[in-house]
Chain A
């Protein structure tokens, strides 16, 4: 139990589908993150939210749309994805984005996405 829960754990979707990934953290944190992990590539930071405000968009295509309704929940809405978007999508949280030192980031177990 990491305190960061992601659903679904596995998702298969067609290129014309619309789906969403959900993340919930039970740690009282104020910063939440989406990372993408493709095969043979390092984790890529996609989005950062701090106190519900988006502070980072790492040039992510608009077919990925994040939503952070409160500090505990983060969504990634998916629309007209491509097969190359198939990857492990990891959600994470921390006390807040700017806190230094012991600002540990806690990760969920990820959502495995396959686009067919």
Chain B
């Protein structure tokens, strides 16, 4: 399975934008890029996903590089409730599996 690389941790100030990077240089043409997050003491929750084009939803935006070897999750205005572990995951089309890495622990300061 293709792997992703994320920074172990990041900090942000409340109400400021946050850009969470993810490298996936071995991505295949049919891998979808998924982002999940896990708040303390909870199961992971879906944030956003994309294939080639940038995507927006009510939670975040996903910017995908033209060569698809990297992507960035953008939280437009971080709140304290956004403090969580963010996982960037490649989902192979032929298996449907969701394989988690270590993720990025995001701290949001008031």
Contact = CB atoms under 8 A, between A and B. Distances in A.
B43 A92 contact: yes
A101 B45 contact: no
Given A42-B102, A42-B103, A101-B32, A107 B97 contact: no
B49 interface: yes
Contacts of B100: 35, 42-44
B17 interface: no
B96 interface: yes
Contacts of A31: 96
Contacts of A106: 45-46
Taking chain B's interface residues, is the majority helix, strand, or loop, or is none over half, making it mixed?
loop
Interface residues of B, number: 21
B43 A109 contact: yes
Contact of B99 (A45, A92, A104): A45
Interface string A86-116: 0000101010111111111111111000000
A48 interface: yes
A72 B16 CA distance: 41
A43 B44 contact: yes
A65 interface: no
Contacts of A67: none
B45 A2 contact: yes
A41 B105 CA distance: 13
A90 B98 CA distance: 13
Given A108-B43, A109-B43, A103 B96 contact: yes
Nearest to B102: A42
For the complex of A and B, 7 pairs with smallest distance between CB atoms? A107-B43, A43-B100, A97-B96, A104-B46, A42-B100, A100-B93, A98-B96
